[in-house]
Amino acid sequence: MIPAPESVSARLLAWYDRHARELLWRTGPAERARGIRPDPYRVWLSEVMLQQTTVAAVKDYFAKFTAKWPDVAALAAASEEDILKAWAGLGYYSRARNLKKCADAVVAEHGGNFPGTANALRALPGIGDYTAAAIAAIAFDEPAAVVDGNVERVVARLFAIDTPLPAAKKPIRERTGTLTPQDRPGDFAQAMMDLGATVCTPKRPACITCPLRDGCLALKAGDPERFPVRAPKRARPVRRGAAYVLTNDDGAVLLERRGPDGLLAGMTQVPTTGWNARADGATDTSEAPLPQAHWTDCGAISHVFTHFELRLSVFRAEGELEPDAHQWWSEPDAIAGEALPTVMKKVLVRALQHESGNERG
């Protein structure tokens, strides 16, 4: 006997009314009671930031972005470079580039207002099936099936779906569609995600407090943690290369902008060997800028990307050179504002620590 849809949505919404998390981008219960809809711009911005990213990591970035760019027109007026600088550290940088493209499209093609249907939203850059459904449901009350990782887990358990992901995505979406109510679809979606984040967790789910425990087939089977079943993952290879931290007499660091495609596209880095996901680079100073300088070995840093681990040998030297077209000297006060991904911050910290260590020694 499968759980009845009306019972699931009613119990879940009642639970949400008591346990909803208060988040910057949500409207509170009082506003919802008065029929005040959340701002589609803020819903969109939060949903893009939350793609594969935790609530805790997003909070400060969301506050910074909405203070700096309070509406979609302001964001469209900003440069991609400034958006990448503000996004630095949050990861998945194609999201930031698509954010700019999407803001431009909303202004140019939709008169500065987000379209109000999942179908139209789906056509915008950086908005896929999940984000289109989430914006449509939360901001526009469309009963779209909102399926993220939380919902996949909740629904796979509720119906004891043992088909491994990603093959299970289609049946899970269909089940979610049957559960989604015509009334309060946005609250239903957010309730499913809150439930997955706080009760129906990947490890040690708190089934004793779950509003859906009566109908849950995974709990009935005695092992809710077994769901969702996932296909085995591939091994993560180690790649190697070298990074070169060159400073001049003013203490400025030589930086450069990465190309427009691939890993960390458009972001800032110190000069490095040509490491990528498929080929190692040299781990010595053979590819360093200003090769005649005295390069000091500062040791290595390690950084884990989604599908490979990168170990970079860090070298440091002092000297002057004329930056080429995509390079510049970044003064000490400017470095914090550069679009430096975390892996490059590790490189700079390693070079700096090594310098202070030498001074002590």
List, by residue number, the catalytic residues.
47
Q: CB under 7 A: which stretch of 106-114, 211-219, 259-267, 285-293 binds DNA?
A: 259-267
Q: CB under 7 A: which stretch of 9-17, 233-241, 289-297, 315-323 binds DNA?
A: 233-241
Question: For residues 252 and 41, what is the distance between their CA atoms, to the nearest angstrom?
Answer: 38
Is 128 a binding residue for DNA by CB under 7 A? The answer is: yes
Smallest separation, CB 337 to DNA (Å): 15
Residues with Cβ within 8 Å of residue 34, at least 6 apart in sequence: none
Q: 59 to 118, contacts with DNA by CB under 7 A?
A: 89-94, 98
Smallest separation, CB 183 to DNA (Å): 20
Give the residue with the Cβ less far from DNA, 7 or 52.
Answer: 52
The SS3 call for residue 318 is strand
Give the residue with the Cβ less far from DNA, 137 or 216.
Answer: 137
The SS3 call for residue 286 is coil
Is 23 a binding residue for DNA by CB under 7 A? The answer is: yes
The kind and range of the H/E element at 338 are none
- Picking from 290, 254, 287, the residue whose alpha carbon sits closest to that of residue 273 is 287
Is 52 a binding residue for DNA by CB under 7 A? The answer is: yes
Is 264 a binding residue for DNA by CB under 7 A? The answer is: yes
Is 203 a binding residue for DNA by CB under 7 A? The answer is: yes
Smallest separation, CB 344 to DNA (Å): 7
Q: CB under 7 A: which stretch of 64-72, 149-157, 247-255, 282-290 binds DNA?
A: 149-157
Is 334 a binding residue for DNA by CB under 7 A? The answer is: no
Is 47 a binding residue for DNA by CB under 7 A? The answer is: yes
Which residue(s) pair with 313 in the sheet? Answer: 242, 300
Phi, psi (deg, nearest 5) at residue 255? -120, 165
Q: CB under 7 A: which stretch of 32-40, 111-119, 189-197, 248-256 binds DNA?
A: 189-197
Core vs surface per residue 200-210: b (16+ CB within 10 A) or e: beeeebebeeb
Smallest separation, CB 290 to DNA (Å): 26
C-alpha separations of 117 from 9, 15, 136, 146, 204 in Å: 22, 27, 6, 13, 37
Residue 226 has what DSSP assignment?
A: G
Smallest separation, CB 309 to DNA (Å): 8
Phi, psi (deg, nearest 5) at residue 301? -115, 155
Count the residues of the shown chain that bind DNA, applying the rule CB under 7 A.
Answer: 62
Residue 199 has what DSSP assignment?
A: T
Is 18 a binding residue for DNA by CB under 7 A? The answer is: no
The SS3 call for residue 115 is coil
| DSSP per-residue codes, 49-69 | HTTT--HHHHHHHHHHHHHH-
Contacting residue, 185, 196, 224, 271, with DNA by CB under 7 A: 196
Is 50 a binding residue for DNA by CB under 7 A? The answer is: yes
Residue 54 has what DSSP assignment?
A: -
Smallest separation, CB 99 to DNA (Å): 10
Question: For residues 288 and 146, what is the distance between their CA atoms, to the nearest angstrom?
Answer: 49
Contacting residue, 163, 178, 276, 296, with DNA by CB under 7 A: 276
Contact mark string toward DNA, 296..325, x via CB under 7 A: -------xxxxx------------------
Phi, psi (deg, nearest 5) at residue 238? -100, 130
Question: For residues 166 and 40, what is the distance between their CA atoms, to the nearest angstrom?
Answer: 30
Based on DSSP, count helices (H) and strands (E) in the chain, helices before strands. 14, 6
Residues that bind DNA (CB under 7 A): 21, 23, 26, 46-47, 50-57, 89-94, 98, 125-132, 134, 148-150, 153, 166-167, 190, 193-194, 196-197, 202-203, 230-231, 233-234, 236, 262-265, 276-278, 303-307, 341-343
